[in-house]
Chain A
Amino acid sequence: MQSVACPTCGAEVSFRSPALPVRVCDYCRTLVVRTSQSAQAMGETAVLPFDISPIQIGTEGRCFDQGFQIVGRVRWAWDDGAWNEWLMLLADGSHAWLGEAMGQFMALREVELTGSLAQVIRRLMNDTPVKPGESGNIAGHAYEVADIRTVRCIGCEGELPFTAPAGWEALSVDFRNRDGRCASFQKDAHGPSLYVGQYVTLASLQPRNLRALPGWSLHPHVA
């Protein structure tokens, strides 16, 4: 763990993983980027609107056959809604995302966009339009395009692998397959990225330290 002083407010900002160079200052919401010697302010993020997600920074559990801890979050919005991408720091030091939308959860890990890619992915990389229902193979499994959206970042917190400035826009394409697997393709000004994983239930994550929500008792299956 490395600690630096926030370049804006001077509060202590700690970095847990060398792979996560970005941290949102808990006090002034400055995006602090760690370099080899120092820390640099990269703008300020918006205050996250109130939501009643059961996840919070510090929630722990098991995913991808190992323990994880939630260390960060990016909140994305599109014309008809918003969702959370929680950053899981896994026990082996790598990270993965826990997407939370419409009360459903998706555990996703980034895969490299190399090798023989499905035609639908190549077309997305070339900015050729695709339609929901188109299919293609991703990492050995057949997927179907579920939806295509232009999304924008509306805020973030905690530690992140990249800077997530408010107003950052990306193309987001969700894939689904028959066995409950899912994949997500994102493309922004910096280039494309691909994430694969599966739908998970909150209970299957064996979560601890869930967020307590006033008026609600912890779900008996996850408590």
Chain B
Amino acid sequence: MSPDDSSVRTLSCPACGGMIAMRAAGYTVTLACEYCGTLIDATNPDARIITRYHEVQASLAIPLGTRGTLRGVEWEAIGWLQRSDGWVSWEEYLLFNPYAGYCWLIAQNGQWSLGTMLTAAPQRDGSDQIAASRRFSPFYSGNTARVTRVAGEFYWRVKVGEEVRATDYVRPGFMLSLEQDDQEKNWTISEWLSGREIRAAFDVDPPPTWLPGMTPLAHQPSPYARRIKGWWPIAALSFVALLLLLILLGGTMQPQSFSLSATPDGPAVSQTFGPIRLPLGRQAMTVEAVTPNVEQGWVDIDVSFVDRKTQDSYDAYAINERYSGRDSDGYWSEGDRSQTLKVASLPAGTYDLVVDVKAHHWSSSGSFSYDSAGGAYKADGLPPVEIVLTVARGARFASNFWLAVLMILVPPLLMLVLHIVFENARLAQKDGSPADADDWLQGIRSP
């Protein structure tokens, strides 16, 4: 191949003789032999050795020379660094495209980020930094990042052992890093890449799914934040569907009304109404018991649906009561003159409604007379209490409804708990103040 047919220049390593490629001629300053690791000065026409190594190079997740398309740009991996801050180590691939320049792929704990150098310095706002109109909060400060291994080519004089002071600012999904030494200050924004995105570009192992107990990256977005947000429309739709079901199917039909009366403190009254015909295999019944004129007293109401054929009985019970008076605060009243009873699952059949009522009057003073006809005392001058029963097929069981609502809420609540566990694990690494609810919320709010 004649030199002009290719953008790649090859040379033999002055240390081991291996043929090594130079893919960014003119930009590249340092070349690290991919076979023995020897550092070569690429600005010197004789390819002078800077530091001689005899080290078998690591096998890289992305072999140098591999190309991949990320965000619409074809990149070639030309350099690789391993760096460490004493606690954790990570790898950085230098990506190159002659028309697009350079960017970085950073790999740590199997997670990948795309780093771009900033040409404009961020704006400081309190302890935060604003870069590319995004706000970043402080995360790590004053770490020293040291180059531990190197392969391929770089546009600066890279050295094993080279150190920079690093300060990192974070927002979910992004990290803003300042790296400085005595000569230079460089700002980089790295964006976390989803497993799908990195694998579509370069054939790397899928990033591990986060599980409680694992340490996420400082800028790794909570996997639950998006799911929680995605759940709300589903929850809202389910809620509307439930309401519709309740309205359409939970309505009552064919109301029948019966009334009877009972004298306060008079004898119990028992009466049978019917027939009530129930056509469906199973149905719920609603009985609305109203006592419009009960006053200073209560009425015990027992209702039973009795199947004429089988004599099976389905019972319900209500107390309607009403007390009122006047005190220093003025008029008061309490008690309910109306109750709704529900009886579930009546089989088809013809029923009688058997009603037993007893009205009571509550009074510390009052005159009673013996009613010879009724054989009991009765309160003088008290009118009989009217009881109106309205029986209808069907019933709304609100408890079922709330149970369903709870079940809709369980997944997002579970995800919220996992989200908080994730954010706590992420923020536990932060230098300075511990995590609080604001941090959890920020994780959900920002994309």
Contact = CB atoms under 8 A, between A and B. Distances in A.
Interface of A: 49-54, 77, 79-82, 84, 102-104, 132-133, 144, 146-147, 176-180, 182, 199, 202, 210, 213-222
A53 B155 CA distance: 13
B26 interface: yes
Contacts of A222: 99
Given A77-B43, A132-B184, A214-B7, A103 B102 contact: yes
A132 to B, nearest CB: 6
A51 B25 contact: yes
20 contacts: A51-B26, A52-B27, A53-B26, A54-B98, A81-B29, A81-B43, A81-B157, A103-B101, A132-B184, A146-B184, A147-B183, A177-B120, A179-B120, A180-B120, A210-B99, A213-B99, A214-B6, A217-B74, A221-B72, A222-B99
B340 interface: no
B98 A102 contact: no
A145 B185 CA distance: 10
Interface string B1-21: 001111111000000000000
Nearest to A219: B99
B67 to A, nearest CB: 9
- Which residue, B72, B98, B117, has most C-beta atoms of chain A within 10 A? B98
A53 B98 contact: yes
B29 A215 contact: no
Interface in B405-434: none
B119 interface: yes
Contact of B99 (A179, A180, A218): A218
Interface string B25-62: 11101000000000000010100000000000000000
Interface in B111-156: 117, 119-123, 155-156
A214 to B, nearest CB: 5
Nearest to A132: B183
Contacts of B24: 52
Given A53-B98, A103-B155, A202-B99, 6 more contacts: A50-B26, A81-B156, A176-B120, A179-B120, A217-B74, A220-B72
A157 B365 CA distance: 120
Contacts of A52: 7, 23-27, 98
Contact of A180 (B98, B119, B184): B119
A213 B98 contact: yes
B437 interface: no
B27 A102 contact: yes
B174 interface: no
A178 B25 CA distance: 31
Given A49-B26, A54-B99, A102-B102, A132 B9 contact: no
B93 interface: no
A199 B96 contact: no
Nearest to A148: B183
A51 B185 contact: no
A7 B184 CA distance: 45
A128 to B, nearest CB: 19
Interface of B: 3-9, 23-27, 29, 43, 45, 72-74, 96-102, 117, 119-123, 155-157, 182-185
Contacts of A144: 121
B271 to A, nearest CB: 88
B25 A50 contact: yes
Contacts of B102: 102-103
A215 B7 contact: yes
Contacts of A214: 4-7
A202 B100 contact: yes
A155 B6 CA distance: 22
A98 B74 CA distance: 24
B25 A216 contact: no
Nearest to A223: B99
A220 B121 CA distance: 27
Nearest to A77: B43
B183 A82 contact: no
A80 to B, nearest CB: 4
B39 to A, nearest CB: 13
A67 B92 CA distance: 39
Contact of B8 (A132, A180, A215, A218): A215
A219 B76 CA distance: 13
Contacts of B23: 52
Nearest to A220: B72
Contacts of A104: 101, 117, 119
B43 A213 contact: no
A217 B69 CA distance: 12
A219 B100 contact: yes
Contact of A178 (B45, B96, B99, B120): B120
Contacts of A80: 29, 43, 156-157
A176 B118 CA distance: 11
A103 B96 contact: yes
Nearest to A48: B26
Contacts of A53: 26, 98
Q: Which 4 A-B pairs have the closest CB atoms?
A: A51-B26, A103-B101, A219-B99, A180-B120
Given A80-B29, A104-B117, A180-B119, A216 B97 contact: yes
Contacts of B96: 103
B190 to A, nearest CB: 17
Contacts of A218: 99
Contacts of A199: 119-120
B97 to A, nearest CB: 6
B28 to A, nearest CB: 9
B77 to A, nearest CB: 14
A115 to B, nearest CB: 26
Contacts of A82: 26, 43
B183 A176 contact: no
Contacts of A182: 119
Given A50-B9, A81-B155, A104-B119, A219 B73 contact: yes
Contacts of B119: 104, 176, 180, 182, 199
A51 to B, nearest CB: 2
